[in-house]
């Protein structure tokens, strides 16, 4: 597949690295000459320096031969214009990153086939993390009926020191352990896999069993009463709206007095506090406790890290940090930061389903592994239809985590027969993804 990416920032360069690594034919357009040179040095892709909205630059990239144009610069207007120009030149499909909701209406008439809003996606992810306080990942599939939940195995977990097969015998509800991340290495879990304290694991469950996962991995249960949100970025404000609607008490902390005053006039329920989010005195009057959670959502990784460490030191149960640099996540996980969110990953999740083959409904990527979870629909004549799961001869690095059939979600076992139009959620390492896709052809 030929893919043109406009914008080589955090999102664009991350996508380029993943897609070119899979053998896709990737062309990157970046206006900043210095950034373009850096990307050319580090990525196996053609890099063109210029304005991605310019007809001449798009022609240089041979956009008319491309299957997909992805516009993910930091400028909403430039992304829309790039799609509009590329569509006129003959590109097959366009995707634009547009963060301002007021610009979404009518974009299809401007040549934008798909709009992604990483702020909205990130806010929904944060709501899930608040509901399931203490977990590190929460991704929903099958219209919310299946959840893939991640967390770090604690000493109190029944999983610690046992094989997966042994652990399953100790529970009376359905779950699938899809992957184990240990010392930065991801393995797809099988019956003989032994889980150790400190492993980061990903478990697939039906929605009604999502609340059981925390206890399974040994997390202490602390019902959250208040949520402190640090920052007034677009992601922070969108998260305030969602979390207030969930019924939590919300306190917003930001050092910008004018910004706090403006937002306080717009939103009645949250309490806005103008103060330094990295100063313990800012939180002292609120008597922080294990029933409090902090979401650090400023645009600066360093501020988010320190705010989380301060919150933990003052007794808050759970902290979540927004990161631009993904390498911070593995470095700091379990050291005062319980979970992380990333606009880069949110964009990748939204875009990858247009790159994958077959009837893809959603794709999820993760913060400390290059594996993917893919929700894909089985067409009537697909190779796996009519076969039991145990007969599929799946690659070693792939596992089926969940299944949706006629709007009914389940966690399949080896005897489950695949039927036409089933939605299956696969977890797979990069080398196994194409083999999984082949089963659906």
Mean pLDDT computed over 164-191: 91
- pLDDT exceeds 70 at position 327: no
pLDDT digits (tens, 9 = 90+) for 14-26: 888 888 877 889 9
Lowest mean pLDDT among 49-58, 119-128, 160-169: 119-128
What domains can you pick out in the chain, each with its CATH number?
A: 2-116 (3.40.50.720), 130-216 (3.30.70.1450), 223-316 (3.40.50.720)
Q: Is the pLDDT of residue 330 over 70?
A: no
Q: What's the distance, CA 27 to chain centroid?
A: 24
pLDDT band at 188 (very low <50, low <70, confident <90, very high): very high
What is the Cβ-side half-sphere exposure of residue 129, based on CA atoms within 13 angstroms?
29
The DSSP call for residue 223 is -
Q: What are phi and psi of 400, to 5 degrees?
A: -85, 125
Q: Which residues contact 105 (CB under 8 A, 6 or more apart)?
A: none
Contacts with 253 (C-beta within 8 Å, 6 or more apart), sequence order: 228, 229, 230, 231, 273, 275, 277, 282, 283
Q: How far apart are CA 33 and CA 55, in angstroms?
A: 18
Band the pLDDT of 159: cuts 50, 70, 90: very high
Confidence of residue 346 (pLDDT cuts 50, 70, 90): confident
Compute CA distances 166 → 214, 235, 335, 392, whole Å: 19, 42, 30, 24
Query: Is the pLDDT at 318 greater than 80, yes or no?
Result: yes
Range of weakest confidence among 83-92, 114-123, 139-148, 332-341: 332-341
pLDDT tens, position by position, 421-438: 999 999 999 889 888 888
Report the pLDDT value the prediction gives residue 333, as an integer from 0 to 100. Answer: 63
Both ends of the chain: CA-CA distance in Å?
17
Q: What are the pLDDT digits (tens) for 87-115?
A: 999 999 999 999 888 888 888 889 999 88
CA distance 9 to 11: 6
């Amino acid at each position: 597949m030929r893919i043109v990416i406009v914008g080589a920032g955090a999102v664009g360069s991350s996508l380029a690295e993943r897609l070119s690594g899979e053998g896709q034919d990737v062309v990157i357009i970046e206006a900043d000459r210095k950034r373009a040179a850096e990307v050319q040095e580090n990525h196996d892709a053609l890099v063109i320096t210029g304005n991605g909205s310019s007809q001449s630059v798009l022609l240089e990239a041979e956009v008319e031969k491309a299957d997909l144009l992805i516009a993910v610069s930091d400028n909403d207007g430039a992304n829309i214009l790039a799609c509009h120009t590329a569509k006129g030149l003959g590109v097959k499909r366009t995707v634009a990153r547009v963060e301002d909701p007021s610009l979404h209406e009518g974009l299809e008439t401007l040549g934008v086939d798909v709009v992604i809003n990483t702020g909205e996606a990130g806010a929904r992810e944060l709501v899930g993390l608040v509901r399931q306080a203490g977990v590190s990942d929460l991704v929903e599939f099958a219209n919310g009926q299946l959840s893939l939940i991640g967390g770090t195995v604690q000493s109190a977990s029944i999983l610690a020191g046992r094989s997966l097969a042994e652990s399953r015998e100790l529970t009376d509800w359905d779950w699938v352990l899809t992957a184990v991340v240990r010392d930065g290495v991801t393995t797809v879990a099988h019956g003989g896999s032994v889980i150790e304290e400190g492993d980061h694991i990903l478990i697939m469950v039906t929605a009604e069993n999502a609340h059981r996962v925390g206890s399974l991995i040994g997390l202490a249960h602390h019902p959250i009463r208040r949520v402190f949100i640090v920052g007034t970025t677009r992601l922070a404000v969108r998260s305030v709206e969602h979390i207030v609607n969930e019924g939590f008490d919300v306190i917003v902390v930001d050092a910008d007095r004018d910004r706090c005053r403006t937002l306080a006039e717009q939103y009645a329920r949250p309490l806005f506090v103008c103060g330094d989010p990295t100063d313990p005195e800012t939180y002292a009057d609120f008597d922080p406790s294990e029933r409090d959670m902090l979401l650090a959502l400023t645009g600066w990784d360093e501020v988010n890290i320190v705010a989380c460490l301060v919150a933990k030191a003052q007794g808050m149960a759970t902290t979540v940090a927004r990161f631009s640099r993904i390498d911070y996540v593995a470095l700091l996980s379990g050291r005062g930061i319980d979970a992380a969110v990333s606009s880069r990953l949110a964009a990748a999740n939204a875009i990858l389903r247009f790159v994958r083959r077959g009837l893809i409904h959603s794709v999820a990527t993760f913060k400390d592994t290059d594996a993917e979870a893919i929700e894909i629909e089985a067409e009537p004549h697909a190779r796996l239809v009519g076969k039991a799961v145990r007969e599929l001869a799946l690659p070693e690095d792939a596992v089926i985590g969940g299944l949706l059939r006629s709007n009914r979600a389940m966690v399949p076992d080896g005897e489950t027969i695949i039927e036409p139009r089933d939605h299956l959620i696969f977890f797979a390492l990069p080398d196994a993804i194409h083999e999984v896709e082949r089963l659906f052809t």
